[in-house]
Amino acid sequence: MMGRGILLFLLVRLFQFLVVEAATDPQESAVLRSLKTQLQNIPPNWVGSDPCSEGWEGIVCTDTRVISIQLSTMGLKGQLSGDIGSLSELQSLDLSYNPGLTGPLPPSIGNLKKLTNLILVGCGFSGPIPSEIGYLPRLVFLSLNSNRFNGNIPPTIGSLSSLYWLDLADNQLSGSIPVSSGNIPGLDMLTHTKHFHFGKNQLTGTIPAQLFSANMNLIHVLFEDNQLTGSIPATLGLVKTLEVVRLDRNLLSGNVPTNLNKLISVIELHLSNNDLVGPFPDLSGMLVLNSVDLSNNSFSVSDFPPYFSTLMSLTTLEAENTNLKGLLPPALFTLPQLQTLNLKTNLFNGSLDIGSDFSDQLELVDLQNNSITGYIERGGYPNELRLMGNPVCGGSATAKFCQLAVHSSPPYSTPPNTCVPSLCPNGQNSSPNCQCSFPYSGTLFFRAPSFSDLGNASYYTSLQSSLQASFTTNKVPVDSVSLSNPSKDADDYLEVSLQVFPAGKQSFSRSDIAKMGFMLSNQTFKPPKSFGPFFFIASQYAHFSESDSTGGSKKMSLGIIVGASVGGFILLMLIFVGVYLFCRKRVKTATERRNVSEPRHSGATSWDPTKSSDSFPQLKGPKVFSSNELRKATNNFSEANDIGSGGYGKASLFHFLKNFMLGEPSQFLCLLGVYRGTLASGQLVAIKRSQPGSSQGHNEFTTEVELLSRVHHKNLVGLVGFCFEDKEQMLVYEFVPNGTLKGSLTGKSGIRLDWNRRLRVALGAAKGLSYLHDLANPPIIHRDIKTNNILLDERLNAKVADFGLSKPMGDSEDGQIVTQVKGTMGYLDPEYYMSNQLNAKSDVYSFGVVLLELLTARVPLEKGRYIVREVRVAMDRQKDRYGLNELLDSALGLTNPLKGLEQFVDLAMRCVEETGDERPTMSEVVKEIERIMQMAGMNTNSDSASLDATSTRSSPHPYNNNVASFDYSGAYTPPHPY
C-alpha cells in the first residue's frame, strides 16, 4: 500500500513538472494579458494565463516564448502599449488591417531584437515613425503603409541591413528622403532592399543622387504622388535590377537622364504629371517595357520617336500632352500586345492610318485634341477610337470616332460556376459555387499592372486561380474566390474587389482570417507577374465562426506536445489503474452482498429468462448456458481463444474512455474479453465475457439479450445464447470469421475489398439496419453504427453487431425519443447530438459516414479532419469522379472503373445531410444501393433473396420462431443445434 502511494505521488509530480515545463514565460504571459486589457476585440479564447500551451489564437510560441503574433483583421481597437517591447523573442508581428489601432507606435518596438517581420499595413497609427525602428538588426519585412504616420522618414531605417521590403506608402510623411552622411545612416545604405514603396505621402526635396548606386538591388522604386522636386538623378540609371519605376505625380523638373534606357529590365515606367523638360526621353533598347506613361510633361516639340515601334512587349503607351507632332507611324499599331494608346493633346497632324495589321488586343486609341485631318479606314479596326477635338471631327461630322463611346458592358465580376446563385440571408453572399456564406473581403491595389485592358477576363481568372491555389497551399478552407469591379483610381492603381468564401461553413474562424490576412499583408501570396506590386486592404470581418480544431491547438510548440503527450500517457495509466481497482472492488462487493443477503443464490445460481421476471421479458430462442459449458468451449478462457479486437473489442479501456466522455463510465467497464469457442455441438461461437455486478452493465446486458433474441436477419449478428450467473455474465454470438469492416478497410485483417465487394458490404449492412428500423417490432435504433460494428462473414457478407446501445422505439408515437446522447464520435448525428432527439435518421447519418469510409478508408474524425467535411469540400460534381480521386482509398485501384461511384457519393452525402428530414430512410438507401449495383452490372439478389423472405416472415413475432429455423450460412456454422 505504502509503495503504491509513493508511486502515485511520483507520477503526479512528474505530471506537474511536465505541465509547468510547458507553460508560457511569466513575463510574456503578463505582456499578452496586459495587451488584452488595452485592446478591444482580442480573440475570445485569450483566457487563463498560459498563452503558449492554451493555444491563444494568433499567438505562436516555441517552448515558453512568444515568437509570432498574427492578429490581422481582428477588428482590434485601442493603442499599442510599450509592453510589446518585452516580447524579446518575437520574430513576427502582424497587426495588419485593424484600422481601430490608433495612436503612436511605441518606441519600445526597438527592443524586439529578433523581429524579422513588422506588418502594420491598414491600421490607424499616427505620429512619427519611431527612430528606434532602426534598431531591429534582423528586420526583413517592414510594412507601415496605409496608416497616418507623419513626420520624416527616420534615417535610422538605413541601418536595417537585412531589410528586403520597405513599404511606407500612403501615410502623411514629409521631409526629404534621408541619405547617409558621416555617422548618420540613410536609405542609400539599404543595399539588400528590393522594395522602396514611398508613394502617396508628402515627401519634399530632391531625390538625392546619393540614394542610388550600382550596389543597390532595388526592383521597385515607387515614389509616386509626393511633392518631390528637382531633376531625376542620373544615378537611377545605375540600378540595373529595377523592374518598376514610378516617379509620377511629383514636381520633378529638368531633363530626363539619358542613361535611363540602360535600365533594360524595367517593365513599368511612369514619369507622368511632372514638369520634366528637354528632349522626349529615349527609351530605345528597353525591350521588356510593358507600360509607359510620360504624360503631362513639357518636353520639347518632337516627332513621334520611331523606337516605340520596336518595343515588342508594349501593352500601354501614354504620352498625353507631351508635344509630339507629325504623323503617327502605322507600324506602332502592329505591336503584338498593344492594348491602349493615349496620345491626347499633342500636335499630330495628317491622316490617321491604323493599317490592317494592327494588334488584335488593341482596345483604345485616344488621339483627342490633335490636328488630325483624316482617318484612313483600312483594316476595319473595330474598337474604340477617339478623334474628338481634331479637324477631322470639325463641322457636322457624325462619325463614331467623333463621339465618346458609351460603355455599356459592366465591369468584370467572377461568374458563377455553372450553378444558379443563391438568394442569401442577410449579410451573406453567394459564392461562385453558389454557396451562401460570409466572405472575407477587401480591395486589392495593383500599383503598376502591366496591362491596361481592364475588360479582359483572362487576367482576372488567372489572378483568381492563383489566389485560390495560394489559400489551398496554406491550408485555409476556401470554397472559392470572387473578383469584381476592376477600375483605375486617381493614382493609376488598379483596384479590384476581392471576396474569399469559406468552404463547408458559413464563416471563417479567427485563425482562418488571421492566416489569410497574413498571406496578403506579408506578400506570401504572389499575384501573376502581369499584376505587378500590390497591397491589400481588408474590410472588417464581423462573423467569425467559433474557432475550430485547426485553431490554436496546432500552434502548440513541440515541447508542449511532447509534454502533453507524456502527461496524457501518465494520466491514462492512472485511469487504467483506477479502472482495475474499481472492477476488482466491485466484483468483490457484489459477491459479498449476494452471499450475505441472498443466501439461496450463493453457489452457481443461474437465471432462467424463460421464467417470468421483472427485468426480462419472456423469451424463447437463445439458449441459457452454464459457465462450465462455456469454460469448456473456450478451454477455460485460454489466451489462445481470446479474439479481443474482433468486433466486440478487447478495447475495454477505449470503451471505458469513450463512455467516460459520454458520461457513462460503467458501460463496458468490466468487459473481460471476447473469446472464440467451440460448443459441444461443434458450433463456433464468440463469447463476450464481462464482470457482473453493475446495474447499468446489467441493463446493457439485458438490452442486448432482449433485442438480439427478437431480431433475426442474415445481416445481423445472431445471438446463440447467454450465461448469467453470480460471477459470470456472458453473451454467446454466432462466430463471424472475417472480423470487422474496419479491419478490412485499414488492411489489418488482410482482406482486400474491391469496389464490387464494398457495394455488397454496403448493401448487406443497409439491409440489416433497414430490418431493424422497419421490420423489427418494435423498431430498433442501433445508435452505434460504425465500421467497427460491422462484421464480415466467410463470404464477406456484412453483419451488424453490438447492440449494447440500441434502443427499441416501442413507447414513442412519432418515432422520436429523447435520450442521453450515446454513440461514437465521428459517426454521431449532429442533430441528435444537439437536440438529444433520437430517431431512425440518426442511424442513417452514421451509415452515411460508413459509406464515406468505404470510399476513403479514412478514420472519420482524426486530427480535426472530419471526413464528411473533407468530402463536402473536395467534391466537385462537374469533374470526373466528382474530383475526389485524392480522397478515395488507393486500395480501390484508382485506375479501375468504379461504376456507380458518383451515385454512391451522392447517396452518402444525402445520408449525412444536416437534418434528418433531408436524409433518406434505410429502406430507400437499400433500394438506391441496389440500383447502383445494377448499374455496375452486379446481381443484387442471388445471395439474399431467400434470406430476406425469412427475415420478413420472422418480423411480426420474431421470438416465437425457433432460431434453428434460420439459415446460418457458411462453412463454419454447422446446422444450428437449438
Block residue for cell numbers 521631409: 175
Our CB check for ligand NAG shows the closer of 526 and 752 to be 526
- Alpha-carbon distance 422 to 352, whole Å? 50
Q: C-beta of 858: minimal distance to ligand NAG in Å?
A: 29
Q: C-beta of 711: minimal distance to ligand NAG in Å?
A: 57
Could you say which residues in the range 658-687 bind ligand NAG, by CB under 6 A?
none
Mapping DSSP to helix (H, G, I), strand (E, B) and coil, where does residue 841 land? helix
Our CB check for ligand NAG shows the closer of 418 and 524 to be 524
Q: C-beta of 161: minimal distance to ligand NAG in Å?
A: 16
Give yes or no for residue 346 binding ligand NAG (CB under 6 A).
no
Per DSSP, what are the bridge partners of residue 685?
Answer: 677, 734
Could you say which residues in the range 277-316 bind ligand NAG, by CB under 6 A?
293, 295-296
Among 240, 262, 325, 601, binds ligand NAG (CB under 6 A): 325
- Alpha-carbon distance 238 to 232, whole Å? 13
Q: C-beta of 301: minimal distance to ligand NAG in Å?
A: 8
Q: C-beta of 470: minimal distance to ligand NAG in Å?
A: 10
Burial 65-101 (b: 16+ CB within 10 A, else e): bbbbbbbbbbbbbbebbebbbbbebbbbbbbbbbbbb
Q: C-beta of 427: minimal distance to ligand NAG in Å?
A: 31
Catalytic residue among 94, 248, 784, 889: 784
Q: C-beta of 841: minimal distance to ligand NAG in Å?
A: 44
- Minimal CA–CA distance to 452: which of 319, 289, 292, 340? 340
Block residue for cell numbers 457636322: 396
Our CB check for ligand NAG shows the closer of 445 and 733 to be 445
Q: C-beta of 490: minimal distance to ligand NAG in Å?
A: 9
Build a one-symbol-per-residue string for 241-280: x at contacts with ligand NAG by CB under 6 A, - elsewhere.
-------------------------------xx-------
Q: C-beta of 440: minimal distance to ligand NAG in Å?
A: 18
Block residue for cell numbers 509530480: 13
Q: Using CB under 6 A, count the residues that bind ligand NAG.
A: 19
The answer to whether 162 touches 142, Cβ cutoff 8 Å, is: no
> C-alpha angle with apex 429: 423 to 432, nearest 5 degrees?
90
Q: What is the CA radius of gyration of the chain?
A: 38
CA 672 to chain centre: 43
Give whole-number Cα distances, 420 to 229, 416, 497, in Å: 55, 7, 22
Q: Is the peptide bond before 975 cis (omega within 30 degrees of 0)?
A: no
Build a one-symbol-per-residue string for 481-520: x at contacts with ligand NAG by CB under 6 A, - elsewhere.
----------------------------------------
Build a one-symbol-per-residue string for 21-60: x at contacts with ligand NAG by CB under 6 A, - elsewhere.
----------------------------------------
Could you say which residues in the range 93-122 bind ligand NAG, by CB under 6 A?
117
Could you say which residues in the range 120-149 bind ligand NAG, by CB under 6 A?
140-141
Task: Quote the cell numbers at residue 141.
Answer: 519585412
Build a one-symbol-per-residue string for 151-170: x at contacts with ligand NAG by CB under 6 A, - elsewhere.
-------------x------
Mapping DSSP to helix (H, G, I), strand (E, B) and coil, where does residue 105 land? coil
Our CB check for ligand NAG shows the closer of 420 and 490 to be 490
Q: Which range of residues in 107-115, 321-329, 659-667, 748-756 is near ligand NAG by CB under 6 A?
A: 321-329
Our CB check for ligand NAG shows the closer of 162 and 422 to be 162
Question: What one-character DSSP code corresponds to residue 381?
Answer: -
Q: C-beta of 352: minimal distance to ligand NAG in Å?
A: 11
Q: C-beta of 344: minimal distance to ligand NAG in Å?
A: 8
Torsion angle of the four alpha carbons 754, 757, 758, 762, in this order, in degrees rounded to the nearest 10: 180
Torsion angle of the four alpha carbons 175, 176, 181, 183, in this order, in degrees rounded to the nearest 10: 40
> C-alpha angle with apex 891: 885 to 895, nearest 5 degrees?
50
Q: Would you call 930 exposed, middle or buried from its count of C-beta atoms within 10 A (0-12, 13-18, 19+)? A: middle
The answer to whether 234 touches 213, Cβ cutoff 8 Å, is: no
- Minimal CA–CA distance to 537: which of 578, 504, 489? 489
Our CB check for ligand NAG shows the closer of 193 and 667 to be 193
Our CB check for ligand NAG shows the closer of 355 and 737 to be 355
Could you say which residues in the range 544-573 bind ligand NAG, by CB under 6 A?
none
Question: What angle do the packed helices 922-935 and 901-911 form, to 10 degrees?
Answer: 170
Could you say which residues in the range 518-537 bind ligand NAG, by CB under 6 A?
522-524
The answer to whether 380 touches 355, Cβ cutoff 8 Å, is: no
Block residue for cell numbers 469496389: 755
Among 318, 726, 829, 928, binds ligand NAG (CB under 6 A): 318
Among 127, 154, 350, 826, binds ligand NAG (CB under 6 A): 350
The answer to whether 802 touches 784, Cβ cutoff 8 Å, is: yes
The reply to whether 94 belongs to the active site is no
CB under 8 Å to 693, separation ≥6 — which residues? Answer: 586, 587, 589, 590, 591, 670
Among 57, 224, 320, 734, binds ligand NAG (CB under 6 A): 320
Straight-line distance from the first to the last Cα atom of the chain, in angstroms, rounded to the nearest whole number: 51
Could you say which residues in the range 602-641 bind ligand NAG, by CB under 6 A?
none
Our CB check for ligand NAG shows the closer of 343 and 861 to be 343
Among 150, 309, 349, 819, binds ligand NAG (CB under 6 A): 349
Among 321, 499, 842, 944, binds ligand NAG (CB under 6 A): 321
Task: Quote the cell numbers at residue 589.
Answer: 462487493
Q: Which range of residues in 80-88, 317-325, 623-631, 654-662 is near ligand NAG by CB under 6 A?
A: 317-325
Q: C-beta of 339: minimal distance to ligand NAG in Å?
A: 15
Mapping DSSP to helix (H, G, I), strand (E, B) and coil, where does residue 790 land? strand
Could you say which residues in the range 326-345 bind ligand NAG, by CB under 6 A?
326
- Alpha-carbon distance 250 to 235, whole Å? 18
- Alpha-carbon distance 25 to 49, whole Å? 10
Count Cα atoms within 13 angstroms, Cβ side, for 708.
Answer: 26
Our CB check for ligand NAG shows the closer of 164 and 904 to be 164
- Alpha-carbon distance 211 to 206, whole Å? 11
Our CB check for ligand NAG shows the closer of 349 and 591 to be 349
Task: Quote the cell numbers at residue 770.
Answer: 433497414
The answer to whether 847 touches 761, Cβ cutoff 8 Å, is: no
Our CB check for ligand NAG shows the closer of 343 and 579 to be 343
Our CB check for ligand NAG shows the closer of 295 and 694 to be 295
Mind telling me the catalytic residues?
Answer: 784
Q: Which residues bind ligand NAG (CB under 6 A)?
A: 117, 140-141, 164, 272-273, 293, 295-296, 318, 320-321, 325-326, 349-350, 522-524
